[in-house]
Structure 1
Amino acid sequence: MRAGIWSNQASHKGTVFIFPGRSEYLERFGRTTSALLGSGFAVVSLDWRGHGLSDRIAKNPRACHVTRFTYYQKDVAAIIELAKAKDMPQPWFLFGNSMGGCIGLRALYNDLPVAAAAFTAPLWDIKMSKPLRAIATPISVVAHALGRSQSYVPGYNSESYVLKTPFSGNKVTHDQEAYDFLTTLAKQMPEFEIGGPTMGWLQECLKECKFLSTNPSPDIPCLAFCGDQDEVVEIGAINSRMQNWRRGKFELVQGAKHELVMESSAIRDNVLGKTEAFFKNAL
């Protein structure tokens, strides 16, 4: 598993663990990491199994696959052990994006040793049409039974999203510069990229989201954001969760797509600024 640690002499306010989303890797959070460092936090992050430069686990190394969604918790445990070994400054905080928000919420149930958590577009349910939702689980179960769990979800293949999708039709950001940065990364470092999710990943993700929805929110301060134009995650699931999070706060960001920390500078600075202030005031 590949991990990254950043700190400087000013890192006395604690350590932020960045949990990336599906298909993401360390370099995509360079600007976020720099902002946190500039505010006095150290940063620890990772490439999830099957992502970036961590070991690929599918027969097709370009496929986003996982045998059990809870296996990501083994990655969480490993990164926590690394942070302990490196004596990363306390207190610790969690910043989870998209799939990292799903993994992060389960980690909080498992007593992740953080003082507060912040999520951007957390994947607590996948955005789907009603007809697709009705068949998604049965089809993924059948695929698994037929030994096809590592086949791509229909409509996806091994292509990188940012390379096959023009800026004008992307679901990620309104910011041309940020999208160009992602496409440049994909072209210069193709070995970092993965394609679409497998049927097995879909089945496991749906099971995990269902499990999370049936459990109460942890007793920890939490701040969550989601763009009002998000077409990847189900906004209703986030809103419902945060309404019942006793020490939680939710902000629907106007004029934003899925990747809030890669949106326009005004949106990005607003989200990161509020997150940094939230962490500093959480104790």
Structure 2
Amino acid sequence: MVPSNPVPEGVRLGYVTTPDRVKLRYAIWPKSAGPHRGTVCLVQGRTEYIEKYFETVADFQARGFAVATFDWRGQGGSDRLIGHPHVGYVDRFEDYWTDLKTFHGQILLPDCPPPFYLVGHSMGGLVALDAATRDRMMFDRMFLSAPMVSLAGMEHSIGAWGAFAEALSFLGLGAMPLKRKGDSRPDEAHFTRSPLTSDLLRYTRMVDTIRADDGLYIGSPSFRWLAAAMKAMTETNRENFASRLQIPLLVLAAARDTIVSTPALEQLGLRLRNGRHMVIAGAKHELFMETDAVRGQVLAAFDAFITHQTR
């Protein structure tokens, strides 16, 4: 229990096993107020974990939504896939689709009230976009926060980086971490340089949570993860990708994002036939962890696109 990060009331924790025998940790909550509106399925970004979203879970509960979330394979409280527990790893990006499909079929459908709305951040947003091309009927709407369709400053080199990482993986170096300065453990001393949020209290809450359970920490991505992610991002940047997205979709981009490419998100947004995009001024990458002023805009967009559509 972390005093700065209280658990929303009514949580039920458990584990579900995928067809390829990976154990995923999940959590579900009932609504706490208002009329019944269905369930928000919250999917996280790379390095993230259930505990990071407690505040946001409570926001959705108060709007009348049940909330269901889980930790992706290789992070949070789910099974690690390689010997180094703090290196991000996945064999194929399609494995995240396996995680989402398993959670949807074994937990969301039998245990949570419909209709179902997906809220995805960063890497989770990329998985959600892939899922929308595979199964239009899984979710009624998708609300994506800075989905990882390209990396900032690498818009024209995604393919080259992917090929490089694939080659290293072929040589048996896939589990090797790509070490970067920004992948160190969260610490108050790093706040002014943080690309994640400009809100000190919420950043400190991340620090407190990792200090309380170091097993939640994920640092550098592996070259195998990089190869898988670059391949998935390349697909979303194809001219015909947006036309394959038939689900109602709202994409939020952060104006000050130095992790995910905001111009790439704007390009995707302009191509959407059944969705739209918004750029949130003054925001860094983690929109749900930002200042009250930014979060207010994000939640207002959520209400307009999802909450008010359930009436």
TM-score by length of 2: 0.85
Deviates more, 1:272-281 or 1:191-200: 272-281
Provide structure 1 residue ranges, at least 5 long, that are not aligned to the other structure. Answer: none
Q: Confirm or deny: 8 A CA contact 2:43 2:124 kept in the other structure.
A: yes
* Matched residues, number: 281
SS of 1:146 mapped into structure 2? helix
Q: CA deviation at 1:163?
A: 3.4
SS of 2:294 mapped into structure 1? helix
Q: Distance in 1 between matches of 2:198 and 2:27?
A: 28
1:14 match:
38
Q: Confirm or deny: 8 A CA contact 1:172 1:258 kept in the other structure.
A: yes
Q: Confirm or deny: 8 A CA contact 1:68 1:204 kept in the other structure.
A: yes
Amino acid at match of 1:233: V
Matches within 5 A, 1:218-233: 218-233=245-260
Q: Confirm or deny: 8 A CA contact 2:174 2:223 kept in the other structure.
A: yes
Q: Distance in 1 between matches of 2:281 and 2:202?
A: 18
Q: Confirm or deny: 8 A CA contact 1:231 1:257 kept in the other structure.
A: yes
1:120 match:
145
- 1:268 counterpart = 2:302: no
Amino acid at match of 2:150: D
SS of 1:16 mapped into structure 2? strand
1:247 match:
274
- 1:42 counterpart = 2:66: yes
1:194 match:
218
Amino acid at match of 1:6: W
Identity %: 28
Q: CA deviation at 1:280?
A: 2.9
1:64 match:
88
Query: For the structure 1 residues 134 and 278, does the alpha-carbon distance in structure 2 shift closer, same or farther, using more than 3 Å as the test?
Result: closer
1:161-193 deviations in Å (ceiling 9; x for gaps): x23970010000110001100111111111111
1:13-39 deviations in Å (ceiling 9; x for gaps): 011110100000111111110000000
Q: CA deviation at 1:9?
A: 6.2
Q: Confirm or deny: 8 A CA contact 1:156 1:197 kept in the other structure.
A: no
1:234 match:
261
Deviates more, 1:121-130 or 1:238-247: 121-130
Query: For the structure 1 residues 78 and 128, does the alpha-carbon distance in structure 2 shift closer, same or farther, using more than 3 Å as the test?
Result: same
Deviates more, 1:8-17 or 1:207-216: 8-17
Q: Distance in 2 between matches of 1:156 and 1:217?
A: 37
1:168 match:
192
- 1:84 counterpart = 2:109: yes
1:245-269 deviations in Å (ceiling 9; x for gaps): 1221211111110001111101112
Q: CA deviation at 1:130?
A: 7.1
1:122-155 deviations in Å (ceiling 9; x for gaps): 0011223479657522321221121001101143
1:155 match:
180
Q: Distance in 1 between matches of 2:176 and 2:89?
A: 9
Q: Confirm or deny: 8 A CA contact 1:63 1:158 kept in the other structure.
A: no
Query: For the structure 1 residues 34 and 141, does the alpha-carbon distance in structure 2 shift closer, same or farther, using more than 3 Å as the test?
Result: same
SS of 1:27 mapped into structure 2? helix
Amino acid at match of 1:170: S
Query: For the structure 1 residues 154 and 259, does the alpha-carbon distance in structure 2 shift closer, same or farther, using more than 3 Å as the test?
Result: same
SS of 1:136 mapped into structure 2? helix
2:306 match:
279
